[in-house]
Amino acid sequence: MIIAVDGPTASGKGTIAKALAAHFGLPHLDTGLLYRAVGRQVQLNGGDPDNADNALAGTQFPDELLDDPVLRNEETGGLASRVSIHPPVRGALNARQVNFANQPGGAVLDGRDIGTVIAPHADVKLFITASVDARAMRRWLEMAGREIDIPLAEIEADIAARDERDITRADAPLRAADGAIKIDTTHMDRDASVAAAIKAVIAKTGQAT
């Protein structure tokens, strides 16, 4: 069974995807982490994430970079959004994602173009969304928990800018795939969001575990 989980930043798609993978016993890939690694590698190279050639060079990152906690910070998230607009970067990472999705037994992948590009044949396609205000507050609380002081207004502006880039990019823009089940987590906590997603998968496939 292949489950595609798409949605904008801080919508809860990563948390939901991990929970679905655990519930149904499937491997999980956070595809956004790949783009964060590219953005971080461009930064380490001293390159410009808005430059297509620099961004493509960043796809040659070492595997161990995926374990670097700096990939989870806001700055790297912004870099990921900027490098992801370049078609050559998406092309360089697509094969890795497609192979993961099509492994025997299936998988859960979360990102922004899983149901539209990477696995349009997925058995279940979910599109997780939430208001900008709710997503910004979640990210702010996450940062505060890690003792990182970032103004809420700055996070809101960053999320809105990422949304704009992701939705309007020419190659694989962020959108709900055809047939995707939309789940709005604006007023849901983690447990409610996960429960809604599991219920949706069971309803679609008839597979409880």
Q: What are phi and psi of 170, to 5 degrees?
A: -70, -35
Mean pLDDT on 1-23: 96
Instruction: Indicate the DSSP class of residue 71.
Output: G
Q: Are 130 and 12 in contact (CB under 8 A)?
A: yes
Examine the pLDDT at 172 and tell me if it is beyond 90: no
Distances (CA, A) of 66 to 9, 69, 137, 138: 18, 8, 26, 23
Q: Per-residue pLDDT for 43 more than 90?
A: yes
- pLDDT averaged over every residue in the chain: 94
Residue 72 pairs in a beta bridge with none
What class, spelled out in words, does domain 2-204 have in CATH? alpha beta
Helix (H, G, I), strand (E, B) or coil at 173: coil
Residue 51 has pLDDT above 90, yes or no: yes
Q: Which residue(s) pair with 124 in the sheet?
A: 3
> 106-137 pLDDT, tens per residue?
999 999 999 999 999 999 999 999 999 999 99
**One-character DSSP codes across 96-132:** HHHHHHTSTT-EEEEESSIIIII-TT-SEEEEEE--H
- In this predicted structure, the answer to whether residue 73 has a pLDDT above a threshold of 90 is no
Domain residue spans in the chain? Answer: 2-204
pLDDT tens digits, one per residue of 140-165: 998 888 888 889 999 999 999 989 98
Predicted confidence at residue 103, as pLDDT, reads 95
| Of 79, 92, 110, 122, nearest in space to 10 by CA | 110
For residues 128 and 208, which has the higher predicted lDDT (pLDDT)? 128
Q: Cα 158 to chain center, whole Å? A: 16
The pTM (predicted TM-score) of the whole model is: 0.84
User: Sign of the CA dihedral 66, 68, 74, 75?
Assistant: negative
Residue 189's pLDDT band, with cuts at 50, 70 and 90, is very high
Does residue 40 contact residue 65 with C-beta atoms inside 8 Å?
A: yes
Q: How far apart are CA 193 and CA 189, in angstroms?
A: 6
* pLDDT over 90 at 171, yes or no: no
Average pLDDT over residues 51-59: 97
If phi over 0 gives left and psi between -120 and 50 gives alpha, with beta otherwise, what is residue 147? Answer: left
